[in-house]
Amino acid sequence: MVMASEQRVLLDTGPWVAFLNRRDQYHAWVTVQFAQLRPPLLTCEAVVSETCFLVRTLSGGAEAVLAFLERGVVQIPFGLQDEHVAIKALLARYADVPMSLADACLVRMSEQYSNSLVLTCDSEAPRPKGGASYGQEGTPQTMPALTLLPFSGRYRWKLGEGLPQTP
């Protein structure tokens, strides 16, 4: 099933961790990206799990991740139970990449949301069919299923000032 053509941003683990961790090498880049995005961002439970794990040593890290969900800044429209057959096929297709469960879920979501963009720091991320090429290795990027994207928007998200709520 392909969703409506409204452009949606799919959030990967790396940018979420970088936003919450001021010492992350991509913190400044992702803060600029988040400032230009209009919520809600979409993700999957596998990304939430990875993000909570990776920020567990930050003061209030996991709580901050869950606050994104509570405030509607990030939503989880993806159900692994409903998509397990497609995910299994993606994991097999990209077995040599390697592909994590979170990667597979985001690729599947990019197939479902035809006009989606994936906000990621992963230059090794697998491309869905029709995906464009990536930036230089290690360069964070936003990929429309999957390429670099100029953002425009009206939201400003700054650490310490709380998170925006959906309009």
Closest by CA to 113, choosing from 135, 141, 143, is 143
Task: Express each pLDDT in 71-86 by its tens digit.
Answer: 999 999 999 999 999 9
pLDDT of 38 > 80? The answer is yes
Q: Give the predicted TM-score (pTM) of the model.
A: 0.75
pLDDT of residue 132: 33
pLDDT attached to residue 32 = 86
CA distance 156 to 162: 10
Q: Is domain 9-143 annotated with CATH 1.10.1200.10?
A: no
- The pLDDT of residue 115: 82
Question: In angstroms, what CA-CA distances link 160 with 41, 60, 97, 157?
Answer: 20, 12, 37, 9
Q: Give the tens place of pLDDT for each residue, 55-66.
A: 999 999 999 999
CB-based burial, 121-138: b 16+ in 10 Å, e otherwise: bbeebbbbeebeebeeee
Domain boundaries, the chain: 9-143
CA pair distance 139, 106, nearest whole angstrom: 19
- Cβ atoms of 141 and 123 closer than 8 Å: yes
Residue 101, Cβ neighbours under 10 Å: how many?
A: 17
